[in-house]
């Protein structure tokens, strides 16, 4: 097992920063905004109340599970009960729980690539076998039913689906979500659908929840979500899994032996978040949208770099293939990984190479950073790549 590449790049950037360098970090997948004040205040009050110094049930505070059910209906239209909700240590544990519940040894899980680096690892940890289904910019990094059908075998147990996508920023339109969901339902396979970026869509793009469009999928569908991206709460570690009650009970049993409940105070903060309004995410969405347009324009201005316009989340996924194999500062990077290494050492710019996402030849660049840093960072890359020889 490899360490999370996204966290590795971030750690390298932070180490250089600690040594006094002005590093521009496009690596981290987290909003640069503080958690909204009302949520922080709820946590402060929770800290002072001794009842929150204790364990909660493994599956979470009953009132938080209820609030997540209400929020799910409010935001995606998916009608679920509190018993179908498991509160987890971030969306990441919901992903791990989902595959732990679904996978028997030898079971295959289809994972459209480029994929978030954690999916294949958590499938493998659960004893399953990740099967990458490659996509590229010619289809907007979206997988088709035909590709899925071609990749499916009798061992296929589940499909991992995520929209908006990390790392590509792709958002599936309604008809494609529906077609994929219907295909999975007809084939009798499960879908793990990750909705953590549900509120971060731009322009005309819309997020659609698969089990809402394909209700017959509901008893074989696990939805992953959390507060991290919507409320700038990455450090609080609260996510959830929504699914059929028997799957939620099974995941609860696993979690009871692994991590027990999510920190009680964090759950109180999450309760304030999901029962509050969506003003903070609206403000962040405006900022991300502005930065999205900026980074998309600036990247495409660089010779050797091409980038699709991202429609969701907060990542650009430019191709750097045209720069590979060319002379640059006395080196000749052959892979996006080597080029990313050059970017951090020569330009003090941190990006995550596509290798981490099953897509060599690309960079993932988070635009959840300040506008000035964003422009400075891409300008440094433009200056560095401008030196590329033959």
Residues that bind ligand PLP (CB under 6 A): 29, 90-92, 116, 162, 166, 194, 196, 226, 228, 234, 239
Task: Give the chain's length.
Answer: 390
Closer to ligand PLP by CB, 78 or 240: give it.
Answer: 240
Query: Distance between CA atoms of 245 and 251, rounded to whole angstroms?
Result: 10
Separation between Cα atoms, residue 230 and residue 251, nearest integer Å:
24
Q: Which residues pair with 366 in a beta bridge?
A: 315
Considering the complex, state which of residue 29 and residue 318 has its C-beta at the smaller distance from ligand PLP: 29
User: Are 85 and 60 in contact, with CB atoms under 8 Å apart?
Assistant: yes
DSSP state, residue 357: G
Q: How far is CA 388 from CA 336, 383, 384, in A?
A: 14, 10, 7
Between residues 90 and 243, which has the closer beta carbon with respect to ligand PLP?
90
The distance of closest approach from Cβ of residue 358 to ligand PLP in the complex, given in angstroms and rounded to an integer, is: 14
Nearer to ligand PLP, 1 or 19 (CB): 1
Asked if 369 contacts 24 with a C-beta cutoff of 8 angstroms, the reply is yes
Q: What angle do CA 303, 304, 307 make, to 5 degrees?
A: 100
CA torsion 278-284-287-289 (nearest 10°) is -70
Beta 190-194 vs 156-162: how paired, if at all? Answer: parallel
> Interhelix angle for 371-386 vs 279-300, to 10°?
20
Residue 266 Cβ vs ligand PLP, minimum distance, rounded to whole Å: 11
Q: Minimum distance from CB of 196 to ligand PLP (Å)?
A: 4
Q: Smallest distance from the beta carbon of 169 to ligand PLP, in angstroms?
A: 11
Helix %, strand %, coil % for the chain, to 5? 50, 15, 35
Residue 368 sits at the vertex; the CA angle it makes with 364 and 374, to the nearest 5 degrees, is 80
Rounded to 10 deg, the angle between the 118-125 and 90-102 helix axes is 40
Residue 312 or 361 with smaller CB distance to ligand PLP: 312
- The nearer residue to ligand PLP, 121 or 194, going by C-beta atoms, is 194
For the bound state, the minimum distance from the C-beta of residue 102 to ligand PLP, rounded and expressed in Å, comes to 17
- Residue of minimal Cβ distance to ligand PLP: 90
DSSP string of 156-222, one letter each residue: EEEEEEESSPTTT-----HHHHHHHHHHHHHHT-EEEEE-TTTT-B-TT-----HHHH-GGGGGGEE
Closest by CA to 240, choosing from 219, 217, 224, is 224
Taking the complex as a whole, how short is the minimal distance between the CB of residue 297 and ligand PLP, in angstroms? 24
Cβ atoms within 10 Å, residue 14:
15
Nearer to ligand PLP, 181 or 226 (CB): 226
Least separation in angstroms between CB 326 and ligand PLP: 31
Q: Tell me how far, at minimum, the Cβ of 281 lies from ligand PLP, in Å.
A: 14
Residue number with CB closer to ligand PLP (7 or 382):
7
Nearer to ligand PLP, 239 or 354 (CB): 239
- What is the nearest approach in angstroms of ligand PLP to the Cβ of residue 4? 9
């Amino acid at each position: 097992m490899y360490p999370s590449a996204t966290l590795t790049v971030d750690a390298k950037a932070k180490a250089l920063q600690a040594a006094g360098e002005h590093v521009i970090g496009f690596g981290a997948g987290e909003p640069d905004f503080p958690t909204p004040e009302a949520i922080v205040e709820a946590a402060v009050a929770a800290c002072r109340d001794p009842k929150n110094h204790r364990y909660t049930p493994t599956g979470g505070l009953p009132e938080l599970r209820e609030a997540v059910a209400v929020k799910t209906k409010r935001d995606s239209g998916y009608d679920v009960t509190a018993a179908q909700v498991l509160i987890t240590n971030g969306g990441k544990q919901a992903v791990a729980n989902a595959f732990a519940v679904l996978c028997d040894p030898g079971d295959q899980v289809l994972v459209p690539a480029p994929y978030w680096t954690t999916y294949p690892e958590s499938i493998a940890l659960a004893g399953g076998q990740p099967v990458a289904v490659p996509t590229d910019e010619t289809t907007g990094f979206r997988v088709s039913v035909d590709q899925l059908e071609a990749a499916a075998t009798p061992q296929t147990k589940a499909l991992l689906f995520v929209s908006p996508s990390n790392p590509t920023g792709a958002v599936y339109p309604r008809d494609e979500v529906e077609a994929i969901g219907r295909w999975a339902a007809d084939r009798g396979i499960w879908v793990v659908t990750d909705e953590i970026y549900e509120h971060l869509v731009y322009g005309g793009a819309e997020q659609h929840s698969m089990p809402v469009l394909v209700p017959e999928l509901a008893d074989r569908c696990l939805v992953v979500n959390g507060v991290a991206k919507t409320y700038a709460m990455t450090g609080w570690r609260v996510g959830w899994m929504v699914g059929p009650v028997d799957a939620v009970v099974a995941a609860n049993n696993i979690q009871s032996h692994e991590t027990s409940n999510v920190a009680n105070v964090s759950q109180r903060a999450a309760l304030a978040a999901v029962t509050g309004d969506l003003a903070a995410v609206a403000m962040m969405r405006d900022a991300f949208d502005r930065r999205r347009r900026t980074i998309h324009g600036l990247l495409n201005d660089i010779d050797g770099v091409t980038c699709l316009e991202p429609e969701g989340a907060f990542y650009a996924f430019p191709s750097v293939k045209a720069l590979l194999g060319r002379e640059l500062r006395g080196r000749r990077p052959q892979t996006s990984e080597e080029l990313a290494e050059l970017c951090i050492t020569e330009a003090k710019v941190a990006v995550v190479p596509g290798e981490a996402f099953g897509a060599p030849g690309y960079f993932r660049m988070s635009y959840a950073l300040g506008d000035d840093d964003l422009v400075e960072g891409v300008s440094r890359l433009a200056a560095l790549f401008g030196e590329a020889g033959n």
